[in-house]
Each structure stands twice: as C-alpha cells, then as structure tokens.
Structure 1
Amino acid sequence: MNVELQLCGIGDKFIINNIYPLYLYDLSEIWERDTNRYGVFEDDDTRTLAEQIQVFDVWWEHPGVLFPYLIKVDDLPAGLIFVATPPYTPCPSYIDYYLNEFFLMRKYRGKGIGEIAMRQLLDMMPGRWELQTNPTARNERAIKFYRKTLHACTNGEYTEELGRHPEQGEMLVFRF
C-alpha cells in the first residue's frame, strides 16, 4: 500500500470537491447538524453542491498561505488535509501551521494511513502546529486518533487542553 500526501493544484480541485461532502456527512454525526432544506450540509440556503464548493476557492487563491492536500492510497483519493497559516487561523500567531481539516474515508481508517499522512505532512512542514477538534464523546474516535498519532509522530511532545474557537465554541486543542 502506497500512501502519498499531495498538494492539490487547481487542476485537481474537483477531486477535493467530490470528497468534501463525504467529510461533511461524517461531521454531521459529531456536530449533530442537519442538512439545509435542499439536502446540503450548510447553515444557509445553498441549493447545490456546485454552489457549496465555491467557498473552497479560497484554498487555491492563496498559495504559500493555504495548503489543500489530497491523501492518496495506491494513487486513489482517500482523504484530505487542509493546512492554514496566519492570518487564516483561529488561534494566536505563535503557531506556524493550523490543521484546519483532516479527513480519511472510512475504508482507509484503522490501517495506519492517517498516521503515515500526518508524518508526511509534518516532515514537509516542520514548525509549531495547532489543531482543534470537538471535545465531546461523539468525537471519541477522532480524539483517540489524534492522541495516538500525535504521540507517535512527535514522540509524545504535544499538549492538549480545552480552548475556545471563535466560531465553533469549546474545542479540544492540540499543540505540537
């Protein structure tokens, strides 16, 4: 099994656009969110997935600041990672990178692929990192993943605390 983390160029943006609704579907269970009246996971009246994906254009408008990655397994899309740098982070300026989104399709979970992708990411982008995730029991799978993966990737050199995201509210904050 070959795992590759690939910076997604504008020419492959459609692949992330295809994967992202799956991510939002998974998150709906954790955040207890419904679709809007059109069946789209948005809080507003976005009517189609085509309208929804326009929001992600920003990830390709700021190269060197915003980094949309595809996780590929044996050359097939398996997930995504979005990395932001200031000023596109919800946290103080003492970090270099913010792990904005991390998603691995269900077929690929529990096989070490997420850890491999995280290792590749940290090797490509060394520095001070932060990630935030939902702190509730509904998100226990992701919390266990981050604890295990960060312990392995940082030799246990990470911190974990409750914090507050400006839009999401209380979050579990990891710094490494």
Structure 2
Amino acid sequence: MNISIKLTGPDEAYIIKNMLPLYLHDLSGHYGLVEGHLPNRHGIFEDTDEYRTLADQYEVQNIWWDKPGTLYSFLIQANAMPAGFARIATPPYCAQGVDYFVSDYFLLQPFRGTGIAEQAAVLVFEQFRGEWELFTNPAAKNITGQKFWRKTVSRYTQGLYSERTGETFDGNKLAFRFDNRGLQPL
C-alpha cells in the first residue's frame, strides 16, 4: 500500500474536519466518563454547549489553516485515500523548549494494525528537524496507544528518546520527547 502525507490547505481542510468527530469519539473511549471528553448536550464532542452542530465545530478548527508556518495539518493517505491525519504545532502552541508538538494523531479504523500509522508518523517526523514532543493518555484503557508511540518513537530514534508520566499543559500524560536533528534522514 502506498502511504503518503500531504500538508493540507484551507481548500482541503474539510477532509480532516470530516474525520475530527471520529477522532474525538475515539479519544473519549480512552478517557471514559472524564469531563472534557464527553459530548456536550447537543451530542458534539466539545467543552462547551456553544457548538450545536458539526458545522459549528468545523469553524473552530479553522485555526489549523489560519496560521501557516506555525500550525500544520497533514492528511495521511493510503493509496491516495484519506486514512487519517496528524496536526503539528510549533511555538507558541507547545511547551517551552519544544520545536514540534504532535497535537493530534488519528488513523481511521480500517487502516489500523497495518503498519500505516507508524509509516505515516515517520513521514511526519521527517518533515521537520528539532525537539519533538507528543502526549498520550497514560491510563490502562490506552495501552494500545502507549505501545504504539513507544515502539514508533523508539524505532525512529534508535532508542534515543525520553519518556515520562506526569502533569503537562494538557493534564496528566505520558510524554515522549526526542530530537531528530542528529538522525539520518530516511
């Protein structure tokens, strides 16, 4: 299967926006009945009841295309079909000392377990050189995600990364950090 990533512009934003509710639904399964990961009273996965429809949610996502050079939305494709997305933030949208932050990473169910997620993550990492950080939920409900990121980051960096569980700007997370400036380009 041919795996590729594509930096999207505003004209293709709708593809990632179409997948966003599925991503947020998936996240809710990792967090259970935790505030911030439940649908609002309108059935939309957002922190406020202000969003009544998916169209409302579409608008709030525009920041990802309004700040080129700072926020990056990559479409993951498998044989030219949408398979998922990766959203990468740079300062000031990440922690101090971090150049690139994996804000969101999602692969649609039919493509999981095929190696596509790891291949796409490496393609994303190869887009930029610097200090990277990504978070995942440290809870037992997310063992699959933890194993995925541990395996993917370890292979990509040949074991040259750090991992810690603790408080972040986004709550208690399992955080991975690595610097790919010294790695040979793939």
TM-score by length of 2: 0.90
Gap runs ≥5 in structure 2: 179-186
Q: Secondary structure at the match of 1:124?
A: coil
RMSD over equivalenced CA pairs, Å: 1.0
d(CA) in 2 for partners of 1:43, 1:123: 33
Q: Structure 2 counterpart of 1:64, which letter?
A: G
Could you tell me the percent identity over the aligned residues?
44
Paired position in structure 1 for 2:40:
36
Paired position in structure 2 for 1:12:
12
1:67 to 62, 69, 72: 72
**Number of aligned pairs?**
173
2:101 to 75, 87, 98: 98
Judging by fraction of residues, say which structure has more helix. 1
d(CA) in 2 for partners of 1:34, 1:85: 27
d(CA) in 1 for partners of 2:3, 2:110: 14
Paired position in structure 2 for 1:126:
129
Note the C-alpha offset of 1:43: 2.1
- After the TM superposition, which residues 1-176 of structure 1 pair with which residues of structure 2 at under 5 Å, given as runs? 1-32=1-32, 33-45=37-49, 46-89=51-94, 91-92=95-96, 94-166=97-169, 168-176=170-178
d(CA) in 1 for partners of 2:75, 2:63: 16
How far does the alpha carbon of each residue in 1:36-70 deviate from its partner, in whole angstroms, 9 at most, with x for none? 11111112111000001211111111101100010
How far does the alpha carbon of each residue in 1:89-140 deviate from its partner, in whole angstroms, 9 at most, with x for none? 1x12x12100100101111111111111111112111211001111100111
Structure 1 range deviating more: 79-88 or 34-43: 34-43
d(CA) in 2 for partners of 1:99, 1:26: 17
Gap runs ≥5 in structure 1: none
d(CA) in 2 for partners of 1:5, 1:142: 20
Moved over 6 A (4+): none
d(CA) in 2 for partners of 1:56, 1:37: 20
Q: Secondary structure at the match of 1:175?
A: strand
Note the C-alpha offset of 1:30: 0.8
